[in-house]
């Protein structure tokens, strides 16, 4: 399995993904790219590609429990980055 698990399926279309494997939504893409590469790899492997923590663990050099914890931290960081990207600027015109 190894690194091929993390490589993803770049040619896949659908599920909110472009042909190059990146998110179709620009805000989601920006939030995702603000994360460290290891967190992006875990999110891609677990969420986008549907792999389990046990499948990803060897490719990441971690235990399945560590991958599960890393995935939880990555999801929370992505959520926060997405919400931050959605925020209005401090000086709003419609106040």
Kindly tell me the sign of the dihedral angle through the C-alpha atoms of 23, 78, 31, 33.
negative
Query: Across-strand partners of 23?
Result: 17
What does the alpha-carbon distance between residue 91 and residue 95 come to, in Å, rounded to a whole number?
8
Host domain of residue 10: 4-86
N- to C-terminal Cα separation, the chain: 54
CATH number of residue 18's parent domain: 1.10.10.10
Q: Does residue 94 lie in a domain region?
A: no
What is the rounded CA–CA span in Å between residue 37 and residue 56?
15
Domains in the chain: how many in total?
A: 1
How does residue 13 score in pLDDT terms, banded at 50, 70 and 90? very low
pLDDT tens for each residue of 14-45: 455 555 555 557 888 888 899 999 999 999 99
pTM: 0.67
Give the mean model confidence (pLDDT) for residues 53-79: 96
């Amino acid at each position: 399995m190894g690194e091929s698990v993390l490589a993803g399926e770049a040619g896949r279309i659908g599920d909110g993904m472009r042909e190059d494997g990146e998110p179709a939504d620009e805000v989601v893409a920006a939030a995702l790219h603000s994360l460290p590469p290891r967190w992006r790899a875990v999110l891609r492997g677990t969420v986008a590609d549907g792999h389990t923590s046990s499948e990803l663990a060897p490719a990441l050099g971690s235990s399945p429990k560590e991958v599960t914890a890393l995935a939880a931290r990555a999801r929370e960081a992505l959520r926060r980055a997405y919400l931050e990207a959605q925020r209005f600027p401090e000086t709003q015109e419609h106040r």
